[in-house]
Structure 1
């Protein structure tokens, strides 16, 4: 007979996958359901990294039209983030994640505020930010993903809003590529250096794949203004959640 907690993990993966692919922040759902299923906190974080790969895989596959003409840009960001993610995994395995846990709520409040106050960029205005700064910013985002990763999608999406001239749908698709590649590199490191709870991880990954496929399809039928409010509200909810967890 199928364990009820595994069913909960599966459906938690679907909900988390939709949230992550639309805005970012699957951990507000996926992390707690892993804890409920009996996975210890640090291993829940690591197992969640693996499951999120399938969420981003589904989201990227479902965002083909948004990524058309933007693959080079997305991969440039993703490779930069991967360098940081590899370093972040070393930090996680060497030091407790308590430092980042205390900073995450602040990041999320700032990100939510950025979404609400941010003005749409003029697409005719070319940004002149040097590539080296873009690499540094993305490497820092990747390091955060590898070390803790809670709500990293929201934070990356907020950064992309100011880093590019693209519309929200394109930036969201680029975010899924960045986070997906960073999660793959981090998880490969974890496989060889840590313990993975494979049973829970497989059920969570299956749910996230479905959620990842559904998210971008839902996003196309929602107004950008509404999405900005949804992302901001999710960021603030997650800020409260991670604040309670950390303090």
Structure 2
């Protein structure tokens, strides 16, 4: 690994950690970079999942104030995210890479639509519920489980998907939901990373570089993301989601 490759990976990791905390899709930065540097797609995927895990954890710490009062909700959702992540890693190790990536643009497109219509739908849910907050239900945990499977297989844009689902099915402020999203993505990355570390091909130098830079980026993302008004945060989610679709279709 040359010095300029080290610099490129560090910069990509920092940027990925930042946008992962704000909305998600950090893998769309690091995965193409690693592949362009000559790493096999599976190695790039697995190394990326492990390397970005510290960044997701630092993002959770940065959003700790928004997590106040959400312990039961987070624990409930995190269990389904962890179970889904295990299923996703099994798929990655057992199936051809193209088999699952074919539907990725459609999943991201659905998430973008959900984010766009979320304010109206959430308003309808609140009015129909007599003003009571909605905490999801079977639909919420089922979709979180499926997103966990997707995240365990290919981590890109799982944050976008989670924000789309949480924004409609769980009535709360966007910043508090973003804090929950950060916890769930951290759970998926850590669980998947533990499996990959023992059963999949990985590059430990790449993991080390991504771990350091994404941790710094994750904290920076928390500082920036917590100051964004809901409309700006929602617009950021939509823009990054659309960019993810273009990225996959172009590839």
Q: Does 1:202 align with 2:208?
A: yes
1:129 is displaced (CA, Å) by 4.7
SS at match of 2:102: helix
Give the RMSD, CA atoms, in angstroms.
1.7
Aligned partner of 1:185 in structure 2 is 191
Q: Deviations over 1:187-232 (max 9, x none)?
A: 1111111111010111111111011101121122222111111110
Structure 1: unaligned runs, 5 residues or longer: none
**CA–CA distance in 2 between the matches of 1:34 and 1:155?**
23
Q: Number of paired residues?
A: 244
8 Å Cα contact 2:24-2:156 kept in structure 1 = no
8 Å Cα contact 1:102-1:243 kept in structure 2 = no
**CA–CA distance in 1 between the matches of 2:153 and 2:250?**
19
8 Å Cα contact 1:109-1:235 kept in structure 2 = yes
Q: TM-score, normalised by structure 1?
A: 0.93
Matched ranges for 1:121-132 at <5 A? 121-122=122-123, 124-127=131-134, 129-130=136-137, 132=138
SS at match of 2:103: helix
Distance 1:129-1:57 versus aligned 2 partners, 3 A rule: closer
8 Å Cα contact 1:74-1:177 kept in structure 2 = yes
1:127 is displaced (CA, Å) by 2.8
Matched ranges for 1:99-178 at <5 A? 99-119=99-119, 121-122=122-123, 124-127=131-134, 129-130=136-137, 132-178=138-184
**CA–CA distance in 2 between the matches of 1:129 and 1:70?**
13
**CA–CA distance in 2 between the matches of 1:17 and 1:128?**
28
